[in-house]
Chain A
Amino acid sequence: MKKLPLIFLLLGGLPLAWTPAVASAEPAPPPPSAATAAAAPRQVIEQLDNALLTAMKEAKKLGYAGRYRSLAPAIERVYDFPGIAALVLGSHWAKLSPAQQREFIATLRDYTIATYAARFDGYAGERFAIKSVQPLPPSRVVVSSTLTETDGKVHTLDYLLQPVGGEWRVINVVADGVSDLALKQAEFTHLLELKGFPGLIAGLKGYIARMAQSGV
């Protein structure tokens, strides 16, 4: 029996991506050479970490709305929201209309940015560090990083990336062994089965509103 890992304070809702329907429409990704597999994914995560550190250090000045605006571009660059949407909803995805799929993807994007903006609301000397970049043949890459808190506690953040439309995009984040994709699936599919698609969207929008209220 153990406590909820503190990492959840930071990872309230990271998106994970890879959408069969949308990804298949993208141009074929470049076969990741050894060089690109080692360098580009690292830069993707560095960009995210830098954006987060900036938002954390200026958290009070920016406020929730400012952090949302500040983080949105980096988060949109890093994550493959269409892919995440399809994976999270699993077999339910194909049953949605194209308009519903677009609505879910857009809401998922807001959900993710809102989570980051609300959770990363201060800075006390936390440090991000990339520990390794390892290929997962044939085309995926895992970037392993750490987040060290001021009390010395080290959290692991494993980012799983794959090429989408010629760019590396994050499809899952595993924080201290907890998959963000699995968390979302557990929550979202139960809500979808219980309340239908309108209920799912309403649930996500309610969450976004709570983030805006508590994010300050």
Chain B
Amino acid sequence: MTVAHRRNWTTILALAATLASLQGCATTGGETKPGLHSADAEISDPLEPMNRKIFNFNMGLYDYVLEPVARGYEKVTPQFLRTRVANFFANAGYPYIILNDFLQLRVHQGLSDLSRFVGNTIFGVGGLFNFADRFDLPPHENNLGVTLGVWGVPQGPYLVLPFFGPSSLRSLPGVPAEILASPFYYVNSTPAQWSITTLGVVNEGYTERGAVKVVKESVFPYYFARSAWLQHQEYLIRGRALSSRELLEQLGPEQPEESSPAGEKPATH
């Protein structure tokens, strides 16, 4: 295995860990089915049987690997250290977020995220401290799937990826893109790569376990995760805004008046 191959693999492992914890997030149904969603979030899950197997695999991976490791990490390290580590990895994810901000022409958000990244990197000692929290520079989420959605690319079928969790055909290119945008990809030392990767996996297991727990404890975890993930992606694509029409559409099919684009009936007044 070449150094370059090892480097890619360790980075992928790190990202995989990140995603394993995300796994529980969101989604809804296998068929294309109008539900209590905006029309944009209509569900297409033709691969549901396979997706559910991968979902269960990811949940098992979390149960038997990431969660026990995270529990051990919490026992042997002080909160101060864990917070610094979490800040460091969150900060390292910002180049990817900033890139997508600007690709979506969300200039204000991009400048805010860029300021946060530069401030935390320089004055927060490489991101260990959240220097930006002293200013009005809140953290944001962004990814390539959202960018493609903003550009009008259809969502495509819902996918659950091994290690990475909820995704879709449109979001698939985000996996390599996130790796390439990570500063860790450009670290040349193999020992350093492995160290960062290992710590990243442990950190992800630690920081995301609350979210995974919510999914695992839900009434029907697969559908909870699918619905939540799809809805949240659409929300990010819309620029974190909900119109009145979208709010009313949420009231579902029982309402006899006006039909939503998804075929639902909005609320009766």
Contacts and interface: CB of A to CB of B under 8 A. Distances in A.
B145 A1 contact: yes
A160 to B, nearest CB: 6
Contact of B254 (A90, A139, A152, A176): A90
A63 interface: no
Interface residues of A, number: 56
B108 to A, nearest CB: 15
Given A151-B133, A187-B223, A207 B228 contact: no
Contacts of A172: 247, 250-251
B166 to A, nearest CB: 7
B250 A177 contact: no
A182 B227 CA distance: 7
Given A18-B267, A179-B36, A5 B228 contact: yes
Given A182-B227, A186-B224, A177 B235 contact: yes
Interface residues of B, number: 71
A142 B36 contact: no
B228 A152 contact: no
B252 A185 contact: yes
**Candidate in A174, A179, A181 with the most chain B CB atoms within 10 angstroms:** A179
B29 A2 contact: no
Contact of A191 (B36, B219, B225, B247): B219
A147 interface: no
Interface of B: 18-19, 21-22, 24-29, 35-37, 130, 132-133, 137-139, 141, 143, 145-146, 161, 164-167, 171-172, 174-175, 178, 208, 210-215, 217-220, 223-229, 231-236, 238, 240, 242, 244, 247-248, 250-254, 267-269
28 contacts: A1-B145, A1-B165, A2-B143, A2-B145, A3-B141, A4-B211, A4-B232, A5-B25, A87-B254, A90-B253, A142-B247, A152-B130, A171-B251, A176-B240, A177-B234, A177-B240, A177-B242, A178-B26, A181-B250, A181-B251, A181-B252, A182-B227, A183-B228, A183-B231, A185-B252, A186-B223, A186-B224, A211-B217
Interface of A: 1-6, 8-9, 12-13, 18, 20, 86-87, 90-91, 93, 119, 134, 136-140, 142, 151-154, 156, 158, 160, 162, 171-172, 174, 176-179, 181-183, 185-188, 190-191, 203-204, 206-207, 210-211, 214
